[in-house]
Amino acid sequence: MTVPDYRDPRLTEQRNPRTERIDVASTLEIVDLLNAEDASVAAAVHAVSGDIARAIDLVVGAFGRGGRLIYVGAGTSGRLGVLDASECPPTFGTPPEMVVGVIAGGYSALVKSAEGAEDDVNAGMAAMDQARVAPADFVLGIAASGTTPFVRAALSRAQTIGAATGLLSCSDPPRVLVETCDVLILPKVGPEALTGSTRMKAGTATKLVLNTLSTGAMIRLGRAYGNLMVDLMALSDKLRDRGERIVMECAGVDRGAARRAIEAAGGSVKLAIVMTRRAVGKAEAERLLAQAGGFVRTAAGDPPPVTGTV
């Protein structure tokens, strides 16, 4: 009798021998098993650090051309792309259109599963047209298994338009993507604790990579001073407090002076730092920053060292 070959060649769909008895494990054992699997994710991401760096350079290049970073994915992958894009404006003061997340099934798929949407190749191509993808853009497809039809079609359309493209996957992608994408980021986290549940290790790896990608690109653009978020948008009490504390630390002034400096700078923490450290007005601080390409360190000198212990 011939035994049928039921095994899926995709790494993310294979069974994990370490968790094959998880259904009879105690609650604490389940927690320990899942945690042990999660512990391997950071190493898998580190193994592709060179590819992530290459992708960051492509993103920076796109921004330099006046282009955008566009994430495209389905399911968990799409949600993580939209999440990372949505966090860039409050963190780095970027316009909402600079980093864009596209998810199969549209924004309703963020809160309600639309699993069938990932198979719609026509929708994948149309999504790139709706996002007005241009040659200056960098489009990153996110597909844990590497085979999502919506993502493959979107990347194909973006390539036809002339945009730079990349793929983030936790499994080996089809040859056509290997041959056509400008960069591949493939953190091999291995089989999931629950077979095929890529919201777990693959999802964690995806979030780590996206955080690194967007943060690295923004740092390269001068949107950090040391490790301080000087381009943040103070749209809440927490962020207003953070902005004032940043100016206090960088300029050695009290909270009242920091608040007045930010107000005089039109709400810009970055500008307030240059104004206070260089003892100049807003117009001169703007000139110094522009001359420095937006880098506060170049315009105002080194930031104060970190004091205390972690």
For position 198, what pLDDT does the model report?
87
Average pLDDT over residues 209-220: 98
| Final residue of a structural domain among 160, 191, 220 | 220
Average pLDDT over residues 57-72: 98
Kind of pairing between the strands at 138-142 and 69-73? parallel
For position 2, what pLDDT does the model report?
59
Residue 179, classified by CB atoms within 10 Å of its CB into exposed (0-12), middle (13-18) or buried (19+), is exposed
Q: What sign has the CA pseudo-torsion 281, 286, 292, 294?
A: positive
pLDDT (tens digit per residue) in 140-165: 999 998 889 999 999 999 999 999 99
Are 199 and 293 within one domain? no
Output the domain CATH number for residue 259.
1.10.8.1080
Are 133 and 261 within one domain? no
Among 88, 72, 92, CA closest to 163: 72
- Structural domain including 289 reads 237-300
Q: How many residues does the chain have?
A: 310
On average, the pLDDT of the chain sits at: 92
Output the domain CATH number for residue 169.
3.40.50.10490
Say which of 20, 37, 87, 286 is annotated catalytic. 87
d(CA 33, CA 187): 20
Are 64 and 167 within one domain? yes
Residue 6 has pLDDT above 70, yes or no: no
Identify the H or E element spanning 114: none
- Cβ pair 134, 163 in contact under 8 A: yes
Is residue 8 assigned to a domain? no
Are 74 and 195 within one domain? yes
Q: Which amino acid is at 256?
A: G
d(CA 120, CA 22): 35
What is the number of domains present in the chain?
2
d(CA 153, CA 175): 14
Going across the sheet that includes 138-142, the strands are: 99-103, 69-73, 138-142, 164-168, 183-185
Residue 114 has pLDDT above 80, yes or no: no
Are 215 and 269 within one domain? no
For position 5, what pLDDT does the model report?
60
Are 135 and 279 within one domain? no
Average pLDDT over residues 265-270: 92
User: 18-35 as b/e, with b when 16 or more CB fall inside 10 Å?
Assistant: ebeeeeeeeeeeeeebbe
Average pLDDT over residues 78-89: 96
Known catalytic residue: 87? Answer: yes
> What pTM, to 2 d.p., does this model score?
0.91
Q: Is 304 helix (H, G, I), strand (E, B) or coil?
A: coil
Average pLDDT over residues 294-304: 94
Among 86, 104, 192, CA closest to 142: 104
Known catalytic residue: 192? Answer: no
Say which of 29, 37, 97, 118 is annotated catalytic. 118
Are 66 and 201 within one domain? yes
Q: Token pair of 27, please?
A: 């609650």
Is residue 35 assigned to a domain? no
For position 9, what pLDDT does the model report?
74
pLDDT (tens digit per residue) in 243-261: 999 999 999 999 999 999 9
Are 197 and 289 within one domain? no
Residue 203 has pLDDT above 70, yes or no: yes
Specify which residues 49 forms β-bridges with. Answer: none
